[in-house]
Amino acid sequence: MIRSALMNVMTAAALKAGRGLKRDFGEVENLVVSLKGPGDFVTAADKKAEAVLFEELSKSRPGYGFLMEEAGIVEGADKANRWIIDPLDGTTNFLHGLPLFAISIALERDGALIAGLVYNPATDDMYVAERGQGAWHNNRRLRVAPRRDFSESLVGCGIPHLGRAEEHPRFKTELAAVMAHALNVRRLGAASLDLAFIAAGRLDAFWERGLKAWDVAAGIVLVREAGGYVSEIEGGDAMLASGSICAGNEATLQRLMMLLRG
């Protein structure tokens, strides 16, 4: 486990916000079967979790800036440090009572990602990484899967939802290309967890387009610190800005990129 002061601050904030989310998730499980559904309730849970993270991190590290999904950018007096936060990644899962969602917190220092945390409060799974200190799942050190044979690789992806129908044709082409060569494909519904699962060697590769910085910032640190590789599908490293991302070990990532480029 990483016992740095920074990681203590991050885990304390995530555990506190996570307690609220877990309680609210219990309530959602009752609401999913009601006619009105849990939509508004989930929006409130999401905002509440973000407010807790903002408050806790501001208290422990005064002056740091923020980039958050709900509240957006909050400039800090300290221009070098910025938290990148998704208080609830996997909203659709949460809304449907599926226990696959997470709090995602990353710290960017002087433009570089130096720490990442992905926490699923439903299962109490904590994934953390800090530059030079490795990636960890609870108390276990993480390593990406060593598998090199793509035909044995389990590949995660993101599927553009109904509101992004214009992206469906390209996704179908990409899926067809990957299906023809990989063992199988998974769509789990929380990009931060997809990347944590790459770090943990559960998935061998992953790709998605159209993501936001808060979906991937923490996961990128996890993958890198677990010995894996992350890049844009097109090959650059502006994943936070472009939202295009693929990850894996050296071999699976190269193969996946080749397949996606057609």
Sign of CA dihedral 204, 207, 229, 68: negative
Identify whether the C-beta of residue 102 lies closer than 8 Å to the C-beta of residue 90.
Answer: yes
**89 contributes a contact to ligand IPD by CB under 6 A:** yes
Could you say which residues in the range 123-182 bind Ca ion, by CB under 5 A?
Answer: none
With CB under 6 A as the contact rule, the residue among 50, 204, 215, 232 that binds ligand IPD is 215
**189 contributes a contact to ligand IPD by CB under 6 A:** yes
**24 contributes a contact to Ca ion by CB under 5 A:** no
Contact letters (x/-) for Ca ion, 212-231, by CB under 5 A? ---x----------------
Q: How far is the CB of 163 from ligand IPD (least distance, A)?
A: 11
To which residue do tokens 């109904």 refer?
A: 162
* Full 3-state SS string of 17-82: HHHHHHHHHHHHHHHCCCCCCCHHHHHHHHHHHHHHHHHHHHHHCCCEEEEECCCEEECCCEEEEE
Nearer to ligand IPD among residue 192 and residue 231 (C-beta): 192
Distance CA 195, CA 86 (A): 14
Contact letters (x/-) for ligand IPD, 158-177, by CB under 6 A? x-------------------
Nearer to Ca ion among residue 192 and residue 249 (C-beta): 192
* CB burial of residue 81 (10 Å; 0-12, 13-18, 19+): middle
Q: How far is the CB of 191 from ligand IPD (least distance, A)?
A: 4
With CB under 6 A as the contact rule, the residue among 191, 196, 205, 222 that binds ligand IPD is 191
User: Rg of the Cα trace of the chain?
Assistant: 18
**90 contributes a contact to ligand IPD by CB under 6 A:** yes
Distance CA 219, CA 214 (A): 9
Q: How far is the CB of 87 from Ca ion (least distance, A)?
A: 6
Closest CA to 255 of 149, 159, 163, 164: 149
Q: Which does residue 200 touch among ligand IPD, Ca ion, none (CB within 5 to 8 A, set by kind)?
A: none
Interaction site with ligand IPD (CB under 6 A): 86, 88-91, 158, 189-191, 208, 210-211, 215
